[in-house]
Structure 1
Amino acid sequence: MRWFILFMLFLGAIINFADKSIIGLAAIQIKDEFQLSYAQWGLVGSSYYWLYPVTGIFGAAWADRIGAKKVMGFLMLTWAVLQVGVLAITALPLLILYRLLLGAFEGPYSPIAYNHADKWFPPKLRGFANSVVVAGGTVGAMIVAPLLVALITLLGWKMAFATLGAASVVWFCLFQFFTKERPEGEVVLKKKTASKAERLKIKDFLVLLTKPSALFTTLAYFSAYILVVWFSVWLPIYLVESVKMSSAQMGYSVAVIGIVSVLIYVGISMLSDFMFKKSQNWRVSRIYIIAASMVLGAVLLLSLTIFQQPMWVVVAMCLAKGLTYTILPIGPTIMINEWPERGALMTSILTSFGNLAGIVAPVITGWIIGLAGANKIAGYNLSIVFMGGIVLVFGILFALFVKPSSEKNMKPQVNDVDNRKRPDVKYS
């Protein structure tokens, strides 16, 4: 059951990120149809994230209370309605409204999925499980790009969006009828931990979020998500306008970058799991490995401002994306470790704060490119320096200040369901 659930979470992440990234693949058609400037296009990209952080927190807290299956099923149905509703868009205000609502209802998916995966997998496999969920996002955003480009070319961008709405309905039916809410035995254990979760005061919760482990993990995630948003909104245009690729070349390049990057960050996540299993040392297995990956990824990203040959652009993008994205599967594991009884809520804080990058990054990128005027290459290079510099700084801070309490994962605790070996909890 746990492997089927992980597969469904993977498919859900594909739909989630395909929904948000298809607009980048259709950027040229949409910009031409509505006569949008770069600043206006940046506004369209930003609008997706205006409510995303807020609904991510409330949606995840809701899932902690009533269950992940119900909440994710509801979310999928709203995605379907919104994607089909694209057929009615006739002007920029409606396009922004559509992106605003889509972001609002897609915001809770990732934190709920990460926590749901953690619920079904033991600690030694959680890095891998979360990396599979993250991989679904990469597949949806990049690897299926040639298919999405083909749909846009054959059907037009509106019908291509509606096709994704149909995929959401299929996922809803499979997930609701063929999965379970939790492993056998956890229902009883959850009742024992509920009182502790309810008694924690807001003040104590806010103090928890300001502790170095939570704070600098969140900042590192935020820095990486600036790159996530750039890949979703600006990469297709960058490859066409700056690297001078054709639409077909762009689609295949996006797919290659996605495939290689998945292999990299899934492999590093498995290495992190292996190191944790052997040593139980969070600093070595979770922090140093991820921080080193982020720093190296930032350096490779910055190299694009010097070496701009198409082949190197694709190679550097593959490596930079794969290395930088390693914080995405491991970050939730660190945050859940800080408060296991409210794992979805803790993960939603992480992902929602990270998605604040989605509000500012597209607008800043559009503003930077606009400042460069006719020299688009210079504008894109400045945006890459902006992204790479932030990832580099926060990757170093992550290594210096994040020190998870490994004792809570090594010693049995009365209320720590996730980190005890319980015979009555079966990861089927």
Structure 2
Amino acid sequence: MRWIVLVLLFFGMIINFADKSIIGLAAVPIMEEFKLSYAEWGLVGSSYYWLYPVTGIFGAAWADRIGAKKVLGFLMLTWAVLQFGVLAITALPLLVLYRILLGAFEGPFSPVAYSHAHKWFPPKLRGFANSVVVSGATVGAMIVAPLLVALISILGWKAAFACLGAASIVWAMAFQFMTKESPAEVYDKAKKKKQEKLEKINIKEFLRVLGSPSALFTTLAYFSTYFLVVWLAVWLPIYLVEVVNMSPAQMGYGVAVIGIASTFIYIGVSALSDYLFKKNQNWRLSRVYVVASSMVIGALFLASIIVFQHPVWVVIAMCFAKGLTYAILPIGPTIMINELPERGGLMTSILTSSGNIAGIVAPLVTGFIVGLSGADKVFGYNLSILFMAALVLVFSILFSIFVKPDTSKREENEHESRLLQSSN
């Protein structure tokens, strides 16, 4: 059952990020249809994240209370309604409203999915499990890009969006009929106890945990990487066409290659982290140092495309930049949940929603920089890339210095692991 859950969460994340990224893949026809400037397009990209951080926190807390299965099914059905609603969009205000609502209802999915996977897998496999969930994001945002580009060119951008709505309905039905809320033995024995913990949470203790160096600098590292996540979704397609001079078809395949290669890279980093954790139970070595080192190297690869802008090198460098910096995405939730296990969904939502504040800033900053550069678009894009590389570099170093996960919870996690193994 745990593998069925993981596979469905993987496909759910594909839909989630396909919903996010298709707007970038359809950027050219949308901008032409509504006669949008770069600044207005930055507004469209940013609007998705205006409510995303807030609803992510409340949605994950709601899932902690009533169950992830119900919440995830509800979210998917709302996505379907909104994607079919695209057929009625006729002007920029409606496009912005659609993106705001879509972001609001997609905000809780990632933290709830991470927390749900956390319940089904023991500590020694959680890095891998989360990396599989994260890989769904890469597949949805990049690997399926050629398919989405083909749908846009054949059916038009509105009909392509509606196809994603249909996929959401299929997923919601499959998740409801093919999965359970949690491993039977763990759920039956711990359900009442967990509900009591949720009712008696100590607010001061919760705020203390959020303000701890481990939670704070994990969140900041996630924030810096998510700046790149948003840039890849909103601006990479345009960058490859306008700066690297790829055709739309070449752009689609380039995005897919970056997605495939980077997926193997960050899954490999997560597997290495799990291996080291299983071997020595050292959080600093297996989780913190592995992730921080990967992010530093990824930032250097990202910065390199400013100097070498040959299409082949840009694709290679972006593969490593994305794959290595994304290491924080599967491991970060593991660190946050470790700080307050009984509030896994809420802790993960704090991480993802705080990181997603970058989603509000990134499209606007990039659009502003590119717009200021005037005719010299290459300079504007290069400046935005340099900014992202510096951001990742600084926060990954701070992450390596200050994040020291609470190892006192090791016995609790090991006991939970034995329960999970016995129930599966």
| Shared fold (TM-score, shorter chain, > 0.5) | yes
Which range moves more in the overlay, 141-150 or 183-192?
183-192
1:274 matched to 2:270: no
| Counterpart for residue 54 of structure 1 | 54
Q: By how many angstroms is 1:131 displaced? A: 0.3
CA distance in 1, matches of 2:162, 2:175: 21
Cα contact 2:302–2:317 (8 A) shared by 1: yes
CA deviations 1:360-410 (Å, max 9, x no partner) are 11000000001110000000000001101100000000000000012311x
Tell me what 1:40 maps to. 40
Q: Which of 391, 412, 416 is equivalent to 1:420?
A: 416
Aligned counterparts of 1:395 and 1:232: Cα–Cα separation in 2: 22
Which position in structure 1 is the counterpart of 2:105? 105
Partner of 1:407: 408
Q: Which position in structure 2 is the counterpart of 1:229? A: 230
Write the deviation string for residues 318-368 of structure 1: whole angstroms up to 9, x where unpaired. Answer: 000000000000000000000110100000000000100000110000000
Is structure 2 residue 9 aligned with structure 1 residue 13? no
- Quick check: 2:65–2:195 contact (8 Å CA) kept in 1? no
- After the TM superposition, which residues 248-259 of structure 1 pair with which residues of structure 2 at under 5 Å, given as runs? 248-259=249-260
Q: CA deviation at 1:115?
A: 0.5
Aligned counterparts, 1:342-353, within 5 A: 342-353=343-354
**SS of 1:420 mapped into structure 2:** helix
* SS of structure 2 residue aligned to 1:305: coil
Instruction: Look up the equivalent residue of 1:38 and give its one-letter code.
Output: Y
Equivalent residue number for residue 140 of structure 1? 140
Correspondence for 1:198: 199
Q: How does 1:5-404 map to 2 (within 5 A)?
A: 5-187=5-187, 188-404=189-405
5+ unaligned residues in a row in structure 2: which ranges?
none
Distance in 1 of aligned mates of 2:70 and 2:351: 22
Cα distance per residue 1:130-159 (max 9 Å; x no partner):
000000000000000000000000000000
C-alpha contact 1:123 1:419 (8 A) present in aligned 2: no
Q: 1:281 to 1:287 in 2, by over 3 A?
A: same
Structure 2 contact 44–99 (Cα < 8 Å) conserved: yes
> SS state of the match for residue 305, structure 2?
helix
CA distance in 2, matches of 1:423, 1:352: 30
Query: How far apart, in 2, do the equivalents of 1:373 and 1:32 lie?
Result: 19
Is contact 1:2-1:427 (8 Å) kept?
A: no
What's the % identity of the aligned pairs?
Answer: 72
Task: Point out 4+ residue stretches in structure 1 off by more than 6 angstroms.
Answer: none
Query: 1:136, 1:424 → 2: CA distance?
Result: 24
| Distance in 1 (alpha carbons) for counterparts of 2:339 and 2:415 | 12
Q: Structure 1's 343 and 419: CA in aligned 2 closer, same or farther, altered over 3 A?
A: farther
SS of the residue corresponding to residue 403 of structure 1 reads coil
User: What is the alpha-carbon distance in structure 2 between the residues aligned to residue 274 and residue 217 of structure 1?
Assistant: 21
Indicate how the Cα distance of structure 1 residues 419 and 400 shifts in structure 2: closer, same or farther if over 3 A, else same.
Answer: farther
Question: 1:421/1:348 Cα in 2 relative to 1: closer, same or farther (>3 Å)?
Answer: closer
TM-score (norm 1): 0.97
* Cα distance in structure 2, aligned partners of 1:337 and 1:234: 34
Letter matched to residue 283 of structure 1: R
Measured in 1, the distance between the counterparts of 2:416 and 2:247 equals 54
Length, aligned pairs only: 423
Superposition deviation, residue 427 in structure 1: 4.6
Q: Quick one: which amino acid aligns to residue 177 of structure 1?
A: F
Q: State the shift of 1:425 in Å.
A: 6.5
Whether the aligned pair in 2 keeps the contact of 1:368 and 1:379 (CA below 8 Å) is yes
